[in-house]
Structure 1
């Protein structure tokens, strides 16, 4: 069963199981639909680093925050660099990057906050969004896991920061793995698989890779992150089956669109 469910107007996919269980929680993932950006960013691009007009991006962010009953001043994001650095966001960083890329939290692919006035946001066009929540402590996080972030085990790094900053044990954390490119569409070479395999036992490789006749390897990044998160002590994991490349009508796909495209937004926070 797909854990990411359409909201009423079908503009976002929500982690409804979490939202029903945790009062005040807002979390989910946008599609490419319902915004104001022109082609090739049509239409709900919320990322400023892809070449879209800033005015269109800000307008799309305004649309989303209003829909989620947040303000644009609460929208908080980082400069994503395909790394594994994690930042714990406090109220003093609230609103970083909301209207200008230069103002975003620098060089971070994971964000965590225990403050209820912050909407964490990050951006995707095939990479894997990882959502984190410790419901009892009302601490949330989001991580951007492309193949480099996966090789850097950013999921486990998030778990470590939950423990270091909030004394939250892995068993108290729930994770959701969002829509991304699937193993059906993601072909890589052996160097990518080898980099990810450094973090995992050899016997787990068949669960997230499949050799093709052309010598390329199909890599299931979502499954690789699931295995890594389980090894980090996470027991509660939801995983989307939606592929951003297969469903290019709904999602931006960096690979399918040769890099010239917009970005979906993963969001999480308490309002």
Structure 2
């Protein structure tokens, strides 16, 4: 099992699957980009075995680079786990209070955000590509959790997973302006005079959104692995037909 484990305690386990050329479809975990659905289901089953749970405990969304989030209940158990058609539609962030549910997010250069709340047991995942970042999906989700779910932001611990590095994330002025308009991303961008391109650090912009939501900086950790450069990375920018990483978290039943 090729997996980076970010959290592994008696209560929570969180991580991110990585590319592995020895596995079916190089350990691709996404049903929306695969050669064979059975290969992806087999890869996911291996992750379920590693987590010592059923694949039907997984909950997946059909991601659309939106700012939409969904509270997962027991009725959602198994959605998108084996079939794309049953995934939660038009959603890029999931959260739940339920134990033994594996929340999933799929990325290949985009920023995966995986978090848990040690006090009330809430867990969640966010898919934040540059479009999700400029729509402030992470900030909006944490504001919802604070205001509606009555969470204390200082109780959250956040892991930002492997993504496209600033060096490899080069954009034109239109995307640069969307980040500039946020008002807090200037420190995470630079201009390359040779290529006339802007370079943006999407991970640090997302980290800043977590901090703006009230999460202490020391409770936010980053995996700075670049999905474009690393042999273990799936990169959409490098290959439009690439597979996807699966970022996950589950809270174990008491």
Q: Which residue of 2 aligns with 1:209?
A: 189
TM-superposed CA distance for 1:128, in Å, is 0.3
Q: Give the whole-Å Cα distance in 2 for the aligned partners of 1:156 and 1:69.
A: 32
List gaps (5 residues or longer) in structure 2: none
Structure-2 change in CA distance of 1:250 and 1:131 (3 Å):
same
Asked if residue 139 in structure 1 is aligned to residue 128 in structure 2, the reply is no
Asked if residue 32 in structure 1 is aligned to residue 23 in structure 2, the reply is no
Runs of 4+ more than 6 Å apart: none
Per the normalisation by structure 1, the TM-score is: 0.88
Deviations 1:32-74 (A, max 9, x none): 117643xxxx311110111321111111110111011121010
Q: Give the whole-Å Cα distance in 2 for the aligned partners of 1:117 and 1:34.
A: 30
Q: Which residue of 2 aligns with 1:184?
A: 167
Per the normalisation by structure 2, the TM-score is: 0.94
Q: Give the whole-Å Cα distance in 1 for the aligned partners of 2:246 and 2:22.
A: 12
List gaps (5 residues or longer) in structure 1: 1-8
Q: Which residue of 1 aligns with 2:206?
A: 225
* Preserved contact between residue 200 and residue 228 of structure 1 (Cα < 8 Å): no
Asked if residue 12 in structure 1 is aligned to residue 39 in structure 2, the reply is no
Residue from 127, 143, 151 that aligns with 1:168 = 151
Q: Which residue of 1 aligns with 2:136?
A: 153
Q: Give the whole-Å Cα distance in 2 for the aligned partners of 1:211 and 1:197.
A: 13
Aligned-residue CA RMSD (Å): 1.5
What is the number of equivalent residue pairs in this alignment?
A: 249
Q: Give the whole-Å Cα distance in 1 for the aligned partners of 2:116 and 2:63.
A: 21
* Preserved contact between residue 179 and residue 242 of structure 1 (Cα < 8 Å): yes
TM-superposed CA distance for 1:227, in Å, is 1.4
Q: Which residue of 2 aligns with 1:3?
A: none
Q: Which residue of 2 aligns with 1:50?
A: 33
Residue from 49, 54, 77 that aligns with 1:66 = 49
Structure-2 change in CA distance of 1:62 and 1:255 (3 Å):
same
Task: Specify the SS of the correspondent of 1:43.
Answer: helix
Q: Give the whole-Å Cα distance in 1 for the aligned partners of 2:234 and 2:91.
A: 22
Q: Give the whole-Å Cα distance in 2 for the aligned partners of 1:35 and 1:56.
A: 13
